[in-house]
């Protein structure tokens, strides 16, 4: 009788270990199924960025937002809840659109066409709205290659 109990106990222990091992392997397999597609998507995105950075036909892309911080030659643009710090090249072309001066009555004529003027990096102020043309570098970093300042109420620039 004791042999039967011993055999049943050993079989139960072996069965438990086997079930535990199977459960572990199934869990690891399911986790790989979750992370596998995510890794594939990240690799695909990295490949796309690398190809975009080397294509001459795509000269740049544009970022638009309000300047919330300026540090050295890095401008942080904010649009809604998104923030993007952008390092501006030393030789980046910077220009500003200026509304013509108001008429004698102090009125701004809606049909007035803004004038584009060459500007300097120091002309950019926190609160300005900017369009920054970006280039993706081979290392994945972004670089500002030209800046347009939109400050319609400031005609002094």
What pLDDT is recorded for position 55? 65
What pLDDT is recorded for position 66? 94
What pLDDT is recorded for position 155? 44
Strands 74-79 and 129-136: unpaired
Q: What is the largest CA-CA distance in the chain?
A: 114
How would you write the pLDDT of the chain (157 residues) with one tens digit per residue? 566 776 767 766 777 677 676 677 677 666 655 566 677 777 777 776 666 666 666 667 889 999 999 999 999 999 999 999 999 999 999 998 876 667 777 776 666 667 778 999 999 999 999 999 998 877 778 899 999 998 655 444 4
Token pair 């960025």 in the structure block, residue: 49
What pLDDT is recorded for position 132? 94
| Burial zone of 65 (CB within 10 Å; 0-12 exposed, 13-18 middle, 19+ buried) | buried
CB 140 within 8 A of CB 49: yes
pTM: 0.59
């Amino acid at each position: 009788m004791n042999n039967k109990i011993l055999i049943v106990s050993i079989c139960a222990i072996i069965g438990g270990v086997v079930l535990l091992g199977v459960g572990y392997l199934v869990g690891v397999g399911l986790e790989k199924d979750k992370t596998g597609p995510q890794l594939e998507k990240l690799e695909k995105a990295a490949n796309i960025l690398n190809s975009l950075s080397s294509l001459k036909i795509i000269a740049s892309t544009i970022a638009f937002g309000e300047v919330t911080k300026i540090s050295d030659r890095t401008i942080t643009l904010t649009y809604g809840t998104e923030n993007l710090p952008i390092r501006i090249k030393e030789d980046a072309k910077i220009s500003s659109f200026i509304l013509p001066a108001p008429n004698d009555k102090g009125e701004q004529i809606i049909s007035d066409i803004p004038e584009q003027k060459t500007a300097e990096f120091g002309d950019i102020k926190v609160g300005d709205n900017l369009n920054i043309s970006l280039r993706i570098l081979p290392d994945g970093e972004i670089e500002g290659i030209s800046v347009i300042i939109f400050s319609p109420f400031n005609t002094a620039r």
